[in-house]
Amino acid sequence: MYGGGYVPVGAEEPKAPAENPELLAQFEARIARGEKIEPRDWMPAAYRKQLIRMIEQHAHSEIIGSLPEGTWITRAPGFRRKLALMAKVQDEVGHAQLLYSAAETLGKSREEMINDLINGKSKYSNVFNYPAETWADVAVIGFLIDAAAIVNQVANSKGSYGPYCRALERICYEESFHLKQGHSVFVWLATGTPMQRDMLQQALNRWWEPIMHFFGPSDKMSQHTETLMRWKVKMASNDVMRQQFLNMYVPKIWELGLTLPDPQLRKDETTGEWLFTEPNWDTFFKVINGDGPCNRERLAVRKVAEERGAWVRAALSRADARFVTPLA
């Protein structure tokens, strides 16, 4: 039995009926026992809605995320680097496929999701609204953004919604390869010529604030964390994940003799907490609401891809129809 219907974005949202308290209690008890919720199980309308929002944004992030690195495929230094980058970009698009399929199990069609992306109604990760200016940007994305994504996704793969968790498990295996690819380029540049090191340092300076933003607003500002953690969609808060990332990766950056553009950044050895300058959250909200350095360009590229692919989708749907209609 489906619990609560999917309400398309932009449609007049009916007042949510109060959930049946008995079903809600059973649902929450299942989650507390660590059971997975599957598409045909009863679920509160708010759980469905939140999952669609989060999985859809994640899927969009994967396809839009392939764009900054994609611009470097033709310029990657050497055949091996080119091959690895091409495989990575292809994987990211594959992750979007897995995630759109997981979101579709909740009742929103892929077409609606893509339309909402192109029309700017749906969000995607802040980090992909910045340009990849040099080859060192590819190193920072591959090493640190993939690392940040892994921190988030390994935790959430232990969550409550079966299709999303299974997609995340598979994605995490591939992201681990991406991290190795990014780390290899990062170390190569960090231990290279002074010019290569400088290029890497500049890229690190540019990306640091967007990476701090990546985990979402601090817990006191986050709108959805409390509900999502109660329902085990998110398995850790934004601040906890940010701390985990800092703890794992800042030492690796410092070991290479690189610096980070935050004079306050240090670990408080008594509490184990990382202290840092609060990133500028006004910038973050501006970027995620469509006004970052590359938002317009990213959506324009997606729109062109969508238009150019229309004939393929039309041909495939006709082929499908022919396949299921018995020939006269």
What residues make contact with ligand FAQ under the rule CB under 6 A?
Answer: 53-54, 57-58, 61-62, 65-66, 92, 123, 125-126, 141, 145-146, 149, 152, 156, 213-217, 222-225, 228, 234, 238, 288
| CA pair distance 146, 140, nearest whole angstrom | 9
Please, which residue, 180 or 224, has the CB nearer to ligand FAQ? 224
Closest CA to 149 of 244, 76, 225, 290: 244
Q: What is the number of other CB atoms lying within 10 angstroms of the CB of residue 308?
A: 9
**Which neighbouring-strand residues pair with 266?**
275
Please, which residue, 166 or 224, has the CB nearer to ligand FAQ? 224
Q: Which residue is closest to ligand FAQ by CB?
A: 65
CB of 60 to ligand FAQ, least distance (A): 8
| CA pair distance 70, 86, nearest whole angstrom | 8
CB of 149 to ligand FAQ, least distance (A): 4
Please, which residue, 43 or 145, has the CB nearer to ligand FAQ? 145
CB of 1 to ligand FAQ, least distance (A): 27
Instruction: Show Cβ contacts of residue 122 under 8 Å, excluding neighbours closer than 6 positions.
Output: 9, 56, 57, 60, 113, 116
CB of 323 to ligand FAQ, least distance (A): 34
The Cβ-side half-sphere exposure at 132, using a 13 Å CA radius, reads 24
Q: What is the number of other CB atoms lying within 10 angstroms of the CB of residue 176?
A: 13
CB of 99 to ligand FAQ, least distance (A): 9
Which residue has 């069609």 as its token pair?
A: 109
Please, which residue, 72 or 215, has the CB nearer to ligand FAQ? 215
Please, which residue, 120 or 257, has the CB nearer to ligand FAQ? 120
| CA pair distance 299, 110, nearest whole angstrom | 17
Please, which residue, 134 or 238, has the CB nearer to ligand FAQ? 238
Closest CA to 258 of 179, 162, 190, 181: 190
CB of 22 to ligand FAQ, least distance (A): 28
Query: 43 burial class (0-12, 13-18, 19+ CB within 10 angstroms)?
Result: buried
Please, which residue, 123 or 197, has the CB nearer to ligand FAQ? 123
CB of 127 to ligand FAQ, least distance (A): 7
